[in-house]
Structure 1
């Protein structure tokens, strides 16, 4: 029984070493290191080559290296009997909440404006009490962002494609998107990427927002129709956007986002997985699998998260 760490383009050494530290007896292979495919029962993956897992006849579990799992669930060739798990990590959650708050405050207080425009003149800024922040996606990360923004004093609401338990803030349902958008001045996208949410940040959605609304996308680049955003910012309907995720990463140098004065770019850094923080739960699931017990943090493949 062996473990495969597969993360093309990302150095797996820190993961392999931490796995060995946490479970010295674990036999680990780092792709594309030579290994016997029949021995692999547990895979830890990030953006694996499409179709590769169909070649592992005894694979039981694929564990995502991060909170996102669309890089796994979007592969149609993963055998149906293989369980997919995701990471739930307090540090990732805290980092995401702090990052979104920083982007919101940068927008409200024009924190980058003076440096970018070499201007010493004070600028008018937007008040916290005048904003209605709408968080699209109120799972683990989204719920934490809602709580952080609420604690600062923002009026916050959420929108979810699935019913959510009672909350201290209003959570709009799937059929209430128009109502949610109509009162939202800052949109934060934290939706999982599914067939239903792909391209959801498009012109039709933007038109339903009040004039001057602002977009923050820290979910996936495939949520955003890029040319629609550019058009709606250039026409003045949207005041701008902060984007941390993109359809193609790294974002090409020639991409118009780089030069646009109302679009802020960060290189997918909202929350970064620390192997030391998350390997213990990967090892726990490995042990549970070997003992025939149910693993934790299972992804519902029919939902995509």
Structure 2
């Protein structure tokens, strides 16, 4: 966290920034955090603002003693760009059948996959916030048929939208499923056997949401039985992924070490500092979280 402290100080040298655990931290008015110890925020009597240092806030909201205070998150356009790059790579990996080519290489088997137009491949994106919307539009520009599913669907040019009631229809027409959902009570465990069964046989998964979205044994079963044709998983319920986890050795699965995209320290520091200044000036805060929705 020292790099984050330095970034906040660069953005606002006048602020007094201390680490959690230091005696003065108890008297802080603003907490910048990601996964604070349970009860830690409740033990800060002067607290006026809680600021996540990431786009997600589920680790903060899971604290049963969370004070009833404004909660903000970081929104980094470069984070969305990085995520779009990663997802685009994953979509192309499956669309151009590089997964098949890599398996064939291990067997010294020469096979040239047919090259199809991307409009023949439907990518379904779960979660259409700032990041999901960017991913959807970038894939649409590449020619893929793109559909999106969200609690509150957005109007995005060229993207077919589905709401909660349309989940089954959304899944039934999706060749490559991308999870970019926030973690809420409704989305926890959504990547499960029922979801996989509703996808077309041989569908692929790119999971870059939150680790707790995934029911690991269900994905292992779906890939081992070839009900699903492949998966790329970047986030896990426990990180680092334990060396004995079955995902390491599941067929047709690529494990990546939570690398899809991260917000830069300078962006985090700047957005925290700006919201601190807005708080002190009595101005509306940026990127305030709706506690009832969880994002």
The 5 A counterparts of 1:207-222 are 207-222=197-212
* Contact 1:132–1:156, Cα closer than 8 Å, also in 2: yes
Alpha carbons 1:15, 1:275 under 8 Å: kept = yes
Q: Please report how far the alpha carbon of residue 192 of structure 1 lies from its aligned counterpart in structure 2 after TM superposition.
A: 0.5
- Greater relative contact order, per chain length (Cα 8 Å cut-off, separation 6+): 2
1:272 aligns with 2:259: no
Aligned ranges 1:100-249 → 2 under 5 Å: 100-111=87-98, 113-114=101-102, 117=106, 119=108, 121-124=110-113, 127=116, 128-165=118-155, 167-249=157-239
Contact kept? 1:216, 1:243, Cα under 8 Å: yes
Deviations 1:247-289 (A, max 9, x none): 0000010111111231101011111121112322211100011
For residues 108 and 36 of structure 1, do their structure 2 counterparts lie closer, same or farther at Cα, with a shift above 3 Å needed?
A: closer
CA distance in 1, matches of 2:98, 2:155: 36
Equivalent residue number for residue 94 of structure 1? 81
- Measure how far apart 1:166 and its partner are: 5.9
Match among 8, 16, 24 for residue 5 of structure 2? 16
Which stretch of structure 1 is more off in the superposition, 68-77 or 93-102?
Answer: 68-77
Structure 2 residue aligned with 1:5: none
CA RMSD of aligned residues (A): 1.7
* TM-score normalised by the chain length of structure 1: 0.91
Unaligned runs of 5+ in 2: none
Q: Tell me, what secondary structure is at the counterpart of 1:246? A: coil
User: Displacement, 1:103?
Assistant: 1.0
Query: Against the structure 1 CA distance between its residues 175 and 123, is the aligned structure 2 distance closer, same or farther, given a 3 Å change threshold?
Result: same
Residue 287 (structure 2) pairs with residue 297 (structure 1): yes
| Total equivalences in the alignment | 292
Q: Return structure 1 stretches of 4+ with deviation > 4 angstroms.
A: none
The DSSP-based 3-state class of the residue aligned with 1:44 is: strand
Aligned equivalents of 2:32, 2:108: Cα separation in 1: 49
SS of structure 2 residue aligned to 1:282? helix
My pick for the range that moved more, 105-114 or 237-246, is 105-114
CA contact (8 A) 1:218 1:245 kept: yes
Work out the CA distance in 1 between the residues paired with 2:212 and 2:113. Answer: 34
Change (3 A) 1:125 1:58: farther
Give 1:34 deviation, angstroms: 2.8
Query: Aligned to 1:66, which of 46, 54, 61?
Result: 54
Report the alpha carbon displacement of residue 118 of structure 1 after superposing the two structures with TM: 6.2
Quick check: 2:188–2:212 contact (8 Å CA) kept in 1?
yes
Q: Is the 8 A contact 2:224 2:250 kept in 1?
A: no
